[in-house]
Amino acid sequence: MPDMDQARAVLRSTFGFEAFRPGQEDIVAAMLAGDNVLAVMPTGAGKSLCFQIPALLRDGVSIVVSPLVALMTDQVAALRLSGVEAETINSSRSYDDNAASWRRVAAGQTKLLYISPERLMTERMLAALGRLPVSLIAVDEAHCISRWGPAFRPDYEDLARLGQFFPGVPLAALTATADEATRNDITAKLFGGGGRVFVAGFDRPNIRLGVAMRRDRKRQLLEFVRSRPADSGIVYCLSRKQTEETARFLAGEGLRALPYHAGMDAAARTANQNVFMTEPGVVMVATIAFGMGIDKPDVRYVFHASLPGTMEAYYQEIGRAGRDGAAAEALMLYGLDDLRMRRMFIDQEDSDADHKRREHKRLDTLVAYCESPSCRRQALLAYFGEAIAPCGNCDVCLDPPELADGTDAARLAARVVRATGQVFGAAHLVDVLRGADTEKIRKSGHDRLKEHGAGRETPKEEWRSLIRQMVAAGLFQLDVKGYGGLSLTDKAAGLLAGDDAFHYRLDAFKAGGAKKPKPAVAAADLSAAEADLFQHLKALRLELAQAQGVPPYVIFPDKALADMAARKPRTADDFAQVHGVGKAKLEKFAAPFLGAIADFLEAGPGA
């Protein structure tokens, strides 16, 4: 059985990394040991390496289940550049190309086969793979298997049968987006409830979070994008019509903006995506159709022109920014008309009442995040069960809003939650607070509570806003999986005991001037001369990427180019020490990059 010493050797020789990132090593060790594993890691934390290294060390072929052709194509291209024999069989390739790939797989020449769930779970493919020594099956974007997740795909659910066809073969499920209910659903379906679960954390501290009340969507967007002219960014819109209009508006203002939505011609969508992936300073204006598989590391911002659907969707979408670890921004515009539209979308879904109820509760948590009176990141991570100190990198931490003392009202709301048994939703609690005379209140005996009517002087909408802000502040826990009941958290004990205070936005819906976000910090700590060399190396990388038909980050990430600019390697041995340079990339790219560095240094500053 391969061990971790061999894993570290492959990490260095093949991928060019000196050490595993936080969270990777334990996951790799579990996979090498043959355990079934669910790994939840934030975007950009290196999920792919967690199954790629065990795949290279275990005998036989490993199968990687991936939801998108673009994602499969990019990962295979990146692996081949690192000297790894990898193949993909998918609908975008010709029959002859797919057949040639299969022959290499069948002949034992391939270590990793990337395939969609639809193609994998056909009788013919399962039978063919059943005759091969399959060593590992990795399910990427595993939240797609769960009906609790934000992007359920019925074709993924069929993967629950994998254990029947490949008994004894270890299964790995990987995702960046899975709350506790989703994690339990994934392990139940793939592993029969067993397996090891690793949650590496959800925080992306390099992304500055912000929310602004929408006043003038176009003007707010234009100010934001114009202040970042050289940056690549994504603007998410609610509808196809809004996407087209916004892209035309930005283009009319002289910006490089392209639309992307499911209603476009497939060739036009692909062409726009390719421009965004390979050229700098492009703004992609998109619906959520522009989603998984967008593995561009240097997206510097994500701007939500409209409210996303859920906290999970929001987390996924902002996660497309700053995958290189450098500073990035996420700004969301928040308006009541978006909330109305989201409610309408849920009500019009072709789904049962239980599903609609859950989706409304998910939307409630997103609204609570928008109205949060305290650190945005605390509210976001609390949703996924993670507690942190105030982040110092969100609009609330950097520019605290004016708050009102809501301690007495919050204690009253908490007492009502406790007195009613911690099972009722916000609507019923507000009715109790305001002294409503409903059948539900009478039947539950809540009209006899001393708190009944104690908050009748406060308007209903203000109570609802305060309760949402208490959810965002971690005082109440919302049961999304159940019926939306609110329960007290440990944090609420201090409030009820009289030890803690609570401040909230008195009128969260009040329109007003949002302050201009502060600029992001520099992407790399380089001197002026090193920054010039860094740009020179980026231009070379773009040329090489275009010549090979791959995204630039597949050649080298920005972090590697910054390391080159700082180290200024002169020899192949020097170049081998650069972050991200493995054996294959040393052979392929040492000459052009060393030549570019030598030419730049010889020309001198300002040349």
Distance (Å, rounded) from C-alpha 283 to C-alpha 291? 15
- Which band of pLDDT confidence, cut at 50, 70 and 90, is reported for residue 416? very high
Q: What is the pLDDT of residue 194?
A: 82
Q: What is the pLDDT of residue 482?
A: 63
Domains of the chain with CATH codes: 4-199 (3.40.50.300), 207-398 (3.40.50.300), 404-504 (1.10.10.10), 528-603 (1.10.150.80)
Distance (Å, rounded) from C-alpha 596 to C-alpha 602? 10
Nearest to 328 by CA among 255, 250, 211, 234: 234
Q: What is the pLDDT of residue 257?
A: 96
Structure tokens at 25: 């090593």
Q: What is the pLDDT of residue 607?
A: 52
- Which band of pLDDT confidence, cut at 50, 70 and 90, is reported for residue 480? low
* H or E segment and range at residue 134: strand 134-139
Q: What is the pLDDT of residue 23?
A: 87
Tens digits of per-residue pLDDT, 121-165? Answer: 999 999 999 999 999 999 998 988 886 655 677 788 899 999 999
Task: Determine the residue type at 62.
Answer: S
Residue bearing the bigger pLDDT, 69 or 245:
245
Distance (Å, rounded) from C-alpha 292 to C-alpha 70? 9
* H or E segment and range at residue 56: helix 47-57
Distance (Å, rounded) from C-alpha 604 to C-alpha 594? 16
- Which band of pLDDT confidence, cut at 50, 70 and 90, is reported for residue 238? confident
Residue bearing the bigger pLDDT, 551 or 333:
333
Structure tokens at 468: 């949402």
**Per-residue pLDDT for 512 more than 60?**
no
Could you tell me if 279 and 541 are in contact, meaning their C-beta atoms sit under 8 angstroms apart? Answer: no
Distance (Å, rounded) from C-alpha 587 to C-alpha 599? 20
Q: What is the pLDDT of residue 509?
A: 45
pLDDT cut 70: percent of the chain above it? 94
Task: Determine the residue type at 1.
Answer: M
Residue bearing the bigger pLDDT, 484 or 58:
58
- The HSE-up count of residue 190 (CA atoms within 13 Å, CB side) is 32
**Per-residue pLDDT for 291 more than 70?**
no
Tens digits of per-residue pLDDT, 6-35? Answer: 999 999 999 999 999 888 999 999 999 999
> 597: how many CB neighbours lie within 10 A of its CB?
22
Structure tokens at 363: 């939307």
Structure tokens at 515: 């302050």
Q: What is the pLDDT of residue 517?
A: 37
Q: What is the pLDDT of residue 519?
A: 33
Tens digits of per-residue pLDDT, 580-598? Answer: 888 889 999 999 999 999 9
Chain mean pLDDT for the chain? 87
Mean pLDDT of 389-409: 86
Q: What is the pLDDT of residue 70?
A: 73
Q: How far apart are the first and last CA of the chain?
A: 55
**Residue 274: CB partners within 8 Å, gap ≥ 6?**
none
Place of tokens 């991928």: 15
Residue bearing the bigger pLDDT, 37 or 396:
37
Nearest to 318 by CA among 310, 330, 307, 308: 330
Tens digits of per-residue pLDDT, 534-561? Answer: 989 988 998 898 888 776 777 888 788 8
- Which band of pLDDT confidence, cut at 50, 70 and 90, is reported for residue 506? low
Distance (Å, rounded) from C-alpha 607 to C-alpha 599? 10
Nearest to 148 by CA among 185, 188, 173, 176: 185
Specify the pTM: 0.68
Q: What is the pLDDT of residue 520?
A: 28
Could you tell me if 326 and 301 are in contact, meaning their C-beta atoms sit under 8 angstroms apart? Answer: no
Tens digits of per-residue pLDDT, 63-73? Answer: 999 887 777 88
Q: What is the pLDDT of residue 293?
A: 60
Task: Determine the residue type at 359.
Answer: E
Tens digits of per-residue pLDDT, 182-207? Answer: 889 899 999 988 889 999 878 899 99
Nearest to 376 by CA among 306, 329, 323, 414: 329
